[in-house]
Chains A and B, each alone.
Chain A
Amino acid sequence: MLGDRRLETPLIETQGLTKLYGSGSGIIRALDGVDLRIEAGEFVAVIGASGSGKSTLMNMLGGLDKPDQGEISIAGQSLSRMSKRALAYFRNETIGFVFQQFQLLPKKSALTNVRLPMQYRRPRRENELELARDSLDRVGLSDRVHHKPTELSGGQQQRVAIARALVGRPQLLLADEPTGALDSKTSVDVMQLLVDLNRQGLTIVLITHDKEVADYADRVITMRDGQIIEDQTHAGVR
């Protein structure tokens, strides 16, 4: 245990993370000095009302946005000073995204959708199709490989999206309201899938405004006005 570096260096570490919007007197602090440590293997839910800064935080963690002040480091890489190009590479290698609206290409099969991130992997893998099939297998959709999103239910579409996030073997899965477009029964299935993936060792950060959804996580971070106001670990919930 002492020799394991992952325990010493957290997967995610931010210091004084600040993001400003607007100008002059109308400045809004979307993030206001956020200090955060998340270890590898954690399942963290970030909860808060809209405008609390949770989406901005997720964009920051995913390398989609850069802070105005402060430091952010993920898997040992400092994102604050990365070029756009390097950030794209980082997103492809390290992050898996799951969105509320699934964001699948409507006219492409599940397999093609899942394979998409591998199109931007450098160097290209020879076994892209195999990886995509494995990934669909992990979310339990081996029998829907050639279906198009329009031929799948909402829950199945979100599973395809999760498979797409997994195909590149990311170190961090970022899920933005993954059940926001699903009914409650399907939501339970999708959340259970995320819990299973976390048990297999995947670090997950989940953004939600729904307390019930947040309860699937081991740790719940509550945000308001760009700041963390509560950080609770409650392993006993599930």
Chain B
Amino acid sequence: MRLPGLTTLGLAMGSLLERPFRTILTMFGIVIGVAAVFAMLSIGEGTQKKILENIDSVQARTITVFPNWSNGRASRRRAWRPFTEQDVRDIQAIPGVFAATGDLSSEYNIVSEMSDWRANVVGVDAAYLKANDLKIQRGRPITDTEIERSETVAVIGTSVVRSLFRGQNPMGERLKIQNIPFTVIGIVGETDAQNWRGQDSNNFVLIPRPTGRSRLFGDDRLVRNQVRSITIVGDNQDALAMIEREIDFILRRSRSLTADEAPDFRIFNFSANRQAFAESQRTLSLLLATMGAVSLIVGGVGVMNIMLVSVTERTREIGLRMAIGARGSDIMGQFLTEALLLSVLSGLLGLGLGYAVSQISLGTDNIEMVFSTRIAILSFGSALLVGVVFGFLPAQRASRLNPIEALRHE
């Protein structure tokens, strides 16, 4: 037995295929609209996921403090005022702080027996690895005693292993910085965390800070006990705001600034940055949503237009169908099916286009996208909705034709 529904579908398909060029042109707007809606929903979902994923990561709980370059009295004497080891210790004592470490580093040419290589040399304290979410892969970290005694030991990143030691086992080997020999005691596991300056985040040599200060960085106008910046990790994100206020209080006190004076330091909250990121993604989503909506409406008007043309062209056919027993609802169904079929095909093409375009943009941009059947169904549904809404009027017009007049139509 033949299903009546199938006949209607076949009829609609045949009618679309009779005019392939017109059909494709009509589908265009909806295809673009669905693609935009699909991309919008995927980006929204991706942003959501990224925020949720990182909410408890060390990165998301990180606050960094930098000196500010151009401010008041300080700038007259010196370009900027660094922080002190005492500042670091005071900040470590703030409740809710998971780890806090000072940063004192500079780039040097490093020489091994095999090669030489330029890398970032960082003078570290005991909290450095913890505060930067770094793990020792081989060997051991620098001990408190080694830091205290300013020993010449080094823990190196994987890029240094590759370039300076050509991938061979560097454990116990020597490397020279400014002609001072250091012994490699450990390797830090590869990290993909983005360096804030966009540099290779695995290209570093860690040495005890006192060693660096007395034998390397001395010519860098940094006097004793000073660090260039401080990195603080909170226990959780909720603690960050309070920690930030405490840091502000501690630094103002140590730098003799009153509460209403402009600070000569800058507190950079990573999670606030993340919110800005989410905000920019939302703007992008909104833009795509607007574009999607406009395209869908324009596409819908196109569908309506072409269906009205189709109804006019086929007036005699409609009259005949009515004369031989088609009810108004049969005619309505025929044209609605045609409009729906148009949107279904456009919807499928739109999904394909949306996916293809997002695959391309994923490679070039820092856009996170998540694809799901839910999103596919939603964007596809928007095409169906357009088909029903804009196909209704022409279908209704067809169903209300007077068969006698329709048969006489030229």
Size category, B interface: 20 to 34
**In the bound complex, how far is the Cα of B4 from the Cα of A6, in angstroms?**
35
CB distance from B301 to the nearest CB of A (A): 28
CB distance from B317 to the nearest CB of A (A): 6
Least CB separation from A105: chain B residue: B317
A residues near B321, Cβ cutoff 8 Å: 116, 120
Are B325 and A89 touching (Cβ within 8 A)?
A: yes
**In the bound complex, how far is the Cα of B320 from the Cα of A105, in angstroms?**
9
> Is B403 in contact with chain A by the CB < 8 A criterion?
yes
Interface centre among B18, B323, B327 (most CB of A within 10 A): B323
**In the bound complex, how far is the Cα of B407 from the Cα of A59, in angstroms?**
12
Given the contacts A105-B317, A119-B7, A124-B4, A59 and B404 also touching, CB distance less than 8 Å: yes
Least CB separation from B327: chain A residue: A88
Least CB separation from A90: chain B residue: B325
A residues near B407, Cβ cutoff 8 Å: 99, 103
Are B327 and A85 touching (Cβ within 8 A)?
A: yes
B residues near A92, Cβ cutoff 8 Å: 324-325
CB distance from B80 to the nearest CB of A (A): 82
> Is A91 in contact with chain B by the CB < 8 A criterion?
yes
> Is A218 in contact with chain B by the CB < 8 A criterion?
no
Are A116 and B403 touching (Cβ within 8 A)?
A: no
Contact residues of B between 288 and 332, Cβ < 8 Å to A: 316-317, 319-330
Least CB separation from B15: chain A residue: A107
Are A97 and B1 touching (Cβ within 8 A)?
A: no
Are A120 and B328 touching (Cβ within 8 A)?
A: no
**In the bound complex, how far is the Cα of B404 from the Cα of A131, in angstroms?**
27
**In the bound complex, how far is the Cα of B324 from the Cα of A107, in angstroms?**
18
Are A124 and B327 touching (Cβ within 8 A)?
A: no
Are B324 and A91 touching (Cβ within 8 A)?
A: yes
**In the bound complex, how far is the Cα of B314 from the Cα of A105, in angstroms?**
10
Contact residues of B between 1 and 31, Cβ < 8 Å to A: 1-2, 4, 7, 18
> Is A65 in contact with chain B by the CB < 8 A criterion?
yes
Number of chain A residues whose Cβ lies closer than 8 Å to a Cβ of chain B: 26
- Of B320, B328, B404, which is within 8 A of A84 by CB? B328
B residues near A59, Cβ cutoff 8 Å: 404
> Is A121 in contact with chain B by the CB < 8 A criterion?
yes
CB distance from A163 to the nearest CB of B (A): 12
| CB 8 Å contact bits of B366-410 with A (1 = contact, 0 = none) | 000000000000000000000000000000000000011001000
**In the bound complex, how far is the Cα of B321 from the Cα of A64, in angstroms?**
12
Contact residues of A between 164 and 207, Cβ < 8 Å to B: 164, 168
B residues near A84, Cβ cutoff 8 Å: 327-328
| CB 8 Å contact bits of A35-52 with B (1 = contact, 0 = none) | 000000000000000000
CB distance from A182 to the nearest CB of B (A): 18
Contact residues of A between 76 and 123, Cβ < 8 Å to B: 84-85, 88-89, 91-93, 97, 99, 103, 105, 107, 116-117, 119-121
> Is A212 in contact with chain B by the CB < 8 A criterion?
no
A residues near B316, Cβ cutoff 8 Å: 103
**In the bound complex, how far is the Cα of B4 from the Cα of A124, in angstroms?**
8
| CB 8 Å contact bits of B326-352 with A (1 = contact, 0 = none) | 111110000000000000000000000
Given the contacts A65-B404, A124-B4, A117 and B324 also touching, CB distance less than 8 Å: yes
> Is A53 in contact with chain B by the CB < 8 A criterion?
no
Interface centre among B316, B325, B329, B330 (most CB of A within 10 A): B325
Are A97 and B4 touching (Cβ within 8 A)?
A: no
Are B403 and A124 touching (Cβ within 8 A)?
A: no
Are B325 and A120 touching (Cβ within 8 A)?
A: yes
**In the bound complex, how far is the Cα of B258 from the Cα of A154, in angstroms?**
104
> Is A62 in contact with chain B by the CB < 8 A criterion?
yes
A residues near B403, Cβ cutoff 8 Å: 64
A residues near B317, Cβ cutoff 8 Å: 105
Given the contacts A103-B316, A107-B18, A124 and B325 also touching, CB distance less than 8 Å: no
B residues near A126, Cβ cutoff 8 Å: 1-2
- Of A65, A88, A99, A128, which is within 8 A of B325 by CB? A88
Are A97 and B7 touching (Cβ within 8 A)?
A: no
Interface centre among A85, A97, A116, A119 (most CB of B within 10 A): A119
* 27 A-B interface contacts by CB (under 8 A): A59-B404, A62-B323, A64-B322, A64-B323, A84-B328, A85-B327, A85-B328, A88-B322, A88-B328, A88-B330, A89-B325, A92-B324, A92-B325, A93-B325, A99-B407, A103-B407, A105-B317, A105-B320, A116-B320, A116-B324, A117-B324, A119-B7, A119-B326, A120-B321, A120-B330, A121-B325, A126-B1
A interface, CB within 8 angstroms of B = 59, 62, 64-65, 84-85, 88-89, 91-93, 97, 99, 103, 105, 107, 116-117, 119-121, 124, 126, 128, 164, 168
9 shortest A-B CB distances, which residue pairs?
A: A92-B325, A120-B325, A117-B324, A88-B327, A103-B320, A91-B325, A120-B326, A97-B323, A64-B404
Can you add 10 more A-B contacts, CB < 8 Å, to A103-B319, A126-B2? A64-B323, A85-B327, A85-B328, A88-B322, A88-B326, A105-B317, A119-B7, A120-B321, A120-B324, A120-B330
